[in-house]
A and B are shown apart, each in its own frame.
Chain A
């Protein structure tokens, strides 16, 4: 049996997970999402990666981004490398895809803020 803390919400449930006859059993979860999380965590732990990308606008030098879905933990740093190489030279809307299907993970890198709005607040017309 293994113990882990669910990270899906602030409740932070203490989960116990064990395997018998190829079946996973999860205890301690307050909601069904905890069960899925625990099993994922045992087989293929995944995370959302949040970071920023560099823009060409001095007033807004960085734009926040995230992966559109969870990616395997071991892909975090390779994906960061891709994110670090992007140079954004045009305004984007919140949710707009900046890198599609990054490193074959199936996740896109999407903007989490509206660069049009940020530039407008800086008095710059995108």
Chain B
């Protein structure tokens, strides 16, 4: 019988969140193990060969593999225990920790235990079916991420003439990538009236290559038996329902979908972690601990970020918090962070641990609608502890607020809220 190995902190996922979490947990002195299901570390960054990563973290625009490369080298240099090609099949909470069942080729199915775990599982893409595309089911319909893997890692074009549905960033990036590799992108169709991706990607991925962006349009039918032969696109109304009589058939051999990302929280859910339907990830406090003590969440599993810098940041703090969880800390006592649901698409963390020793508070949020000239205030016990004015807030852009010094200690407060006010109400 093998002795079960015990760790202080196990990080699940070797993408940008997990890498940062493992590094910070290890540096905080925790006996750390990182588990990755693929052969290589780096998560989705492996295939994101375009530049624009790390502007905040490294103050330069790196490509995905470069950004990941820096972290991978750090993890290797530190000698952080690491299991690749290893899959976590189950996590059980037991007594003062967690028992993880792992499967890999060299050991079979076996168990390890840990006092805390960091879930850095990333996200997956919404599929054609989840957005109710109809018609036949030919080959040639790919999510942008799958197409990206096929082109960038395997070196094959899955389409030579395609329509892209959805204006998410990966879709825009793939429009440029496919064009550079010799495919024709007929157009990007977006059901919403505003683009989902960042403005800069519309400029450098679509405008630079004269690829049209059609807002308020969607694919209503996929045509073709074996391989995609055409799609039918239609205009949609404000409720995104297709308008009869606006159908138009476009010949193409492929459809690339970029219609949203879903945080992967199957392991979290199996543990009973409560999920915030708005952020798509677990409810967490300011240390990124979920409702289950000892279970932390970070990166795109926590909420889908548009910047990898924030993914790494949540990973870093989740890792450090998981490492300190091992020590005896005062018991968690949570209050909700109040906000007006009409203003915020979501706000992370959703709750605040008033017994936390750490005084730093980082908030991430998205506005529900496009707003201009807005004042965002953070109030502790009805006293403003932070305010920031934004010229423009749009849902595709996640904003970050860091409060590291506060006029009053945050522990022991009874009320914490974040408010959004039109700028006009403030002094000019």
Contacts and interface: CB of A to CB of B under 8 A. Distances in A.
Interface stretch (B127-135, B194-202, B216-224, B410-418): B194-202
A7 to B, nearest CB: 4
Interface string B56-86: 0000011111100100100000000000100
Interface residues of B, number: 34
B99 to A, nearest CB: 28
A9 interface: yes
Contacts of A50: 49-51, 63
Q: How large is the interface on A (under 10, 10 to 19, 20 to 34, 35 or more residues)?
A: 20 to 34
26 contacts: A4-B203, A6-B200, A7-B200, A7-B203, A8-B55, A8-B61, A9-B55, A9-B200, A10-B306, A12-B199, A47-B204, A50-B49, A50-B50, A61-B153, A62-B153, A64-B64, A64-B65, A66-B49, A112-B62, A112-B63, A112-B65, A113-B66, A114-B69, A117-B72, A118-B40, A121-B40
Interface string A9-52: 11010000000000000000000000000000000000111111
Contacts of B155: 52, 54, 61-62
A6 B199 CA distance: 9
A64 B198 contact: no
B152 interface: yes
Interface of B: 39-40, 46, 49-52, 55, 61-66, 69, 72, 84, 152-155, 180-181, 198-204, 208, 306-307, 397
A10 B55 contact: yes
A114 B71 CA distance: 13
Contacts of B198: 10, 12
Contact of B203 (A5, A54, A77): A5
Tell me what chain A mostly uses at the interface: helix, strand, loop, or mixed: mixed
Nearest to B65: A113
Contacts of B201: 7
A62 B208 contact: no
Nearest to B66: A112
A87 interface: no
